[in-house]
Chain A
Amino acid sequence: MLSDIKKPVLNEKKAFYYFGFKTVVPFSEVEKAIKALKNVASDELAKTVNDHAENIESYFDNDDLKNDETLSVKFNRGEPRKSWASYKDDFPEINLAELIENEESEDAIEVVEKEAADEIDVIEEADIEPVVEEKPEVKEPVVKNSHPKTKIYINGELLGSCEDPVNFTQQMREKRRNGEVSHEMNITYYEDNNEIYIFNDPGRARRPLIIVKDGVPLLKEEHLNKVANGKLKWDDLINNGLIEYLDAEEEENSYISMSLAEINEDHTHLEIDPATMLGICAGIIPFSDHNSSPRNTMEAGMTKQALGLYVSNYALRTDTRAHLLHHPQTPIVKTRIIDSTNYDLRPSGQNFVVALMSYEGYNMEDAMVINKGALERGLARSSFFRAYDTSEKRYAGGQVDKFEVPDKNIKGYRSEEAYRNLDDDGVVNPESYVESGDVLIGKTSPPRFLEEDFGTVADRRRETSVTVRHGEKGIVDAVLLSETVEGSRLAKIRVRDTRQPEFGDKFASRHGQKGVVGLILSPEDIPFTEFGVVPDLIVNPHAIPSRMSIGQVLEMVAGKAGCLEGERVDATPFNQTLEDEIKQQLIDNGFESAGCESLYSGVTGERIDAEIFVGVAYYQKLHHMTTDKVYARSRGPVQVLTRQPTEGRAREGGLRFGEMERDCLIAHGAALTLKERLLDESDKYEAIVCENCGMLAVYDKHKNKKYCPICGDVETYPVEISYAFKLLLDELKSLCIFPKLVLGDKA
């Protein structure tokens, strides 16, 4: 196309090769041509432009053209778009080229990629506005729609089509089941858009199901026996095509029976167990089939916030933040999902004896009363770890940071008190008690800018120590000294803090029943049972009816029975009812079948008239703790720009007195309170105003004189304004607006 280019006429203006004109033409004519192009309908234009893009492509293939000195335009080839082939290595599981080849031989799939060009027909030249002598060839891709083919997308990319989608998907599934194709491949046929989706990429949630053929599940009793004997493994079941994993897409193509009893000829799969529909979080909930769905959803979210044994190598780790529960217990009431996820190895809660009653209003609105004795014996106690780290950085000019106890005359020196825990090497010693502001790693850095002639370099070093965060305290748990990749010294310090539950700490059962500690009560004041059992926790009964978390009630009864029998109870949802069994167990142990007991007031010793429901429930301590959140300030840091107090606990900030709060003071007519909040306790500023021009005047500290930068030595007056207003005046001035202040006497 471009190869038969005529020699350019050099005395003309430069021509636009890249516009796809076959010959070199004068600039004026190109202009004309562009005008003509502008009149073409836009999608036609797009086609032409696409076509020219192809011409450019051929430019790169033609070395003669590239080396042609006379061409005024040169192109650099960019990275070509990654083709499918280049992805091949990322997906070792399935060889797509081979797959497509296989299908090609069966004539079920056509590879469109390479033939794409063939499908593009040439349209008549007359349809395009004439452009200088020879018209550019315009091609239009024509979609053949005589027989609608089903499009096939692999991992979201259109890669081919097929004519018999139903058979094709069926064949692909067969191939997966007999091992010809990876079992991680999932294929879905969407009838309404006539498209097939094949996925084999990571990141899809998939779940196993038993394959059903003609109303008969393929997994038979014999297989189960073999599994029990250890002759068959899970993988064998998959490899033999008895069980397969479906992703969310392929589920749309299947009809899954919940139980063996319900199965009919139309079913394609059978659930291994109805509870497999639950994931890890929801699977932890016992009797979740008895709860309302919002509560289950809440619990699935909250269980992720529960403290527990999050890893077993915590002592070797330096997580920036980590919580560790001190005496984690495995739940008495468990589910099969708990078994299969090894929850028992990393539990995140403890079994509490719970009484369902109100206590002097201290557990209203989802608060709870907790047993002080139990807490002192270590119930719900946890450790909080925070790791700090820093390294001796190297700077240009051979300067380095240095771990040391900073010298007194260093810039930014803290009080001597702050460095008291440091050893000679500038790093704290393990097991020393530190509080916020205490230095953990003493460090000095070279000055930011080198100045001439200003003492020795050592004098001008800066203090850049790492200190304990504001509002935190603890004991240095571990000190690690190492090296960074660059080879400079690295220090990591882990500080530990023990957290005994206190007012406001958040707890939750496994049924979305969350609450905060409202009272820590001495065991002698807590009501006790006939047998002298003192509950660990008193939860308000109002928490149950409106939320319909019946699972919690069942768990408490089951937990109680489990305790008495010395056995764990299986409470997997959608399973046989345990109710009668549990009731019988309670009766056998001399308890009431409903779980209610007579309680005696801890204060007076009198029997409480009402029967109180007492049971054992698994409670989780959540990582929202008062110590991490309490905050108050009277005075403190301010922002540089506005001189208003900083925001947020971490910055030791103030609590915002917002617009609506302001409106309330206005409504009360509390003029001076309002002024105090907004000015005196915020960004009060004494401005000096020139009497003559009304602009801000200046105070010269050295001469101890006030003057106006515009009018010179004139009378000035101090005015009390907010710094934000001063900023507004400055900003107006920068916009060339002159805000003149006219002063008068205070009324």
Chain B
Amino acid sequence: MEDIIIKVKDTIAQLNEEEKLDIDFPDSYIEDLAKAYIKNDLTDDELTELIRKLKQAYDRAHVEAGEAVGTVAAQSVGEPGTQMTMRTFHYAGVTELNVTLGLPRLIEIVDARKEIATPTMDIYFDEERRNDEEFVRTLANQIGKSTINDILSDFNLNYGTMEVEAVLDNKKIEEKRLDREKINAAIEKAFKKVDINGDEIVISSSKDSKSDSKFVIRELRLLADKVRDLQISGIKGIGKVIIRRDDEWIIHTEGSNLKEILDMEGIDHVRTTTNNIHEIGEVLGIEAARQSIINEAQNTLSEQGLSVDVRHIMLVADIMTSEGVVKSIGRHGISGEKSSVLARAAFEETGKHLLRASIRGEVDDLTGIIENIIIGQPIPLGTGSVGVKMDYKNE
């Protein structure tokens, strides 16, 4: 295979040199060419011809200079967007997990919200462990939030001694694959007056019980709530987890913490993901964030039965991430940062932009589309993008 690829590259280089074709295919194309070469058992002439044809098709597929790709992308996303209902379906197959979908989600993506409404993660496992149910369940319980309440078999308030009496359920602990030692340690760390006797735990208020006779009962109840809600395992930011098996074991989570999950043992670092674009941007970098915008937007649209060409979404994602940070489309992002005063004023907050421009003495060089529409000049796009220049050499 390797040598075929080299052969294809050589042929291209040769064509470039001999016929000045200026071929610059992406690597994936060259791979495909090599595959086709092997599969169809091509001769060298046929390969040359194939490369020529591919070059033609490749050039034809190119967007021409002066094409209004942004407007077309906006229209292509906007038109199906009007058909999108405000309905939000539940996560496919998993009823317990509620995820923002449809138009609200699309708006969330394009607005580049920092705090998204329903962050979720899909956790995959590496090849050895993706079919290991025991491992997945243990990990799920490490990730998911568990409280004392989840492992109780009996819970009582003793108003005589003013103590909280809890009895732990060994079965539940085992089911959840929790470590008994760690639970005890967590309880002892959280409460001062604790008496652990096997499964039975007696906790009394840290304060002197006689001191504030008026509020003791209330305090006892507050203490009881605290005991119930004491977190004994889980990762910060993650709530409920759902374990699902399709072809392999997958964990869905409510809430997201990509960084800590990726640090864990046995995780598939390639496929594990979150729907929080900013988090991806921070943990994996801007290119990952870009891909995440594309994936999320396309999934949201296709879930509603709408198909938008990826290239439109890719353009949106490119623009949102082109400066190294995820920026929103709109007043606080792309549109608000345009260089032209008139373009900004025409969009939103007209007064603010005009006033600021006058204070700073901004100059609008009128190179954009909106500016030229305002002043009534042909727009520098499409048929308006060509001009006449003087050929100095022939002067």
Contacts and interface: CB of A to CB of B under 8 A. Distances in A.
A541 B295 CA distance: 47
Given A663-B75, A721-B376, A722-B376, A671 B354 contact: no
Given A666-B71, A737-B355, A747 B382 contact: no
Contacts of A396: none
Contacts of A735: 354
Interface in A612-667: 662-664, 666-667
A679 B74 CA distance: 25
A699 interface: no
Interface residues of A, number: 27
Interface in B358-388: 358, 363, 369, 373-385, 387-388
A596 interface: no
B310 interface: no
Interface in B40-92: 66-68, 71-72, 74-75
Interface in A673-731: 674-675, 678-679, 684, 720-722, 725, 728
B354 A669 contact: no
B315 to A, nearest CB: 13
Contact of A732 (B71, B354, B363, B369): B354
B384 A672 contact: yes
Contact of A669 (B355, B373, B384, B388): B384
B374 A725 contact: yes
Given A666-B68, A668-B382, A737 B375 contact: no
A735 B72 CA distance: 37
A670 interface: yes
A338 B380 CA distance: 68
Given A667-B68, A738-B358, A662 B373 contact: yes
B379 A671 contact: yes
Contacts of A737: 354-355, 357-358
Contacts of B72: 667
Nearest to A662: B373
Most chain B CB atoms below 10 A, which of A666, A668, A672 = A666
Contact of B66 (A664, A669, A679, A747): A669
Interface in A88-102: none
B373 A684 contact: no
Contacts of B67: 669
B69 to A, nearest CB: 9
Most chain A CB atoms below 10 A, which of B72, B358, B378, B385 = B378
A264 to B, nearest CB: 45
A738 B360 CA distance: 12
Contacts of A747: 387-388
A736 B354 CA distance: 11
Contacts of B385: 669, 671
A663 to B, nearest CB: 6
B312 to A, nearest CB: 12
Q: Is the interface of A mostly helix, strand, loop or mixed?
A: helix
B382 A671 contact: yes
A684 B357 CA distance: 27
A663 B385 CA distance: 17
A742 B375 CA distance: 13
Contacts of A722: 374-376
A658 to B, nearest CB: 13
Given A663-B71, A732-B354, A737-B358, A671 B374 contact: no
B381 A666 contact: yes
A659 to B, nearest CB: 10
A671 to B, nearest CB: 3
B68 A678 contact: no
B376 A669 contact: no
Contacts, number: 72
Contact of B383 (A669, A721, A728, A738): A669
Interface string A37-55: 0000000000000000000
Contact of A674 (B358, B374, B379): B379
Nearest to B384: A671
Given A666-B68, A666-B369, A725-B376, A671 B383 contact: yes
A124 to B, nearest CB: 30
A721 B382 contact: no
A671 B374 CA distance: 13
Interface string A163-178: 0000000000000000
A466 B388 CA distance: 56
Contact of B381 (A671, A678, A738, A742): A671
B381 A669 contact: yes
Contacts of B377: 675
A722 B373 CA distance: 9
Contacts of B387: 747
Interface string A260-278: 0000000000000000000
Contact of B375 (A666, A671, A721): A721
A675 B373 CA distance: 7
Contact of B68 (A669, A728, A732, A742): A669
A663 B71 CA distance: 7
A440 to B, nearest CB: 42
Nearest to B377: A675
A721 B382 CA distance: 21
B384 to A, nearest CB: 3
Contacts of A667: 68, 71-72, 75
B376 A678 contact: yes
Contacts of B373: 662, 674, 678
Nearest to B370: A666
Nearest to B380: A671
Contact of B378 (A671, A684, A725): A671
Nearest to B381: A669
A747 B383 CA distance: 14
A719 to B, nearest CB: 9
A732 B388 CA distance: 34
A721 B373 CA distance: 10
Contacts of B75: 663-664, 667
A694 to B, nearest CB: 11
A239 B72 CA distance: 75
A666 B384 CA distance: 10
Nearest to A673: B383
Nearest to B73: A667
Contacts of A662: 373
Given A669-B66, A737-B354, A737-B355, A684 B383 contact: no
B71 to A, nearest CB: 4
A684 B67 CA distance: 27
A679 B376 contact: yes
Given A667-B68, A732-B354, A747-B388, A725 B383 contact: no
List the 6 shortest-distance A-B pairs measured between CB atoms, nearest first. A669-B382, A671-B384, A722-B376, A737-B358, A679-B376, A747-B387
19 contacts: A662-B373, A663-B71, A663-B74, A667-B68, A667-B71, A667-B75, A668-B68, A669-B385, A670-B383, A671-B378, A671-B381, A672-B384, A674-B373, A675-B377, A675-B379, A722-B374, A737-B355, A737-B357, A742-B363
Interface of B: 66-68, 71-72, 74-75, 354-355, 357-358, 363, 369, 373-385, 387-388
Interface of A: 662-664, 666-672, 674-675, 678-679, 684, 720-722, 725, 728, 732, 735-738, 742, 747
Given A669-B384, A721-B375, A737-B355, 19 more contacts: A664-B75, A666-B369, A666-B379, A666-B381, A669-B67, A669-B385, A670-B383, A671-B378, A671-B380, A671-B384, A672-B383, A675-B376, A678-B376, A722-B375, A725-B376, A728-B374, A732-B354, A737-B354, A737-B358
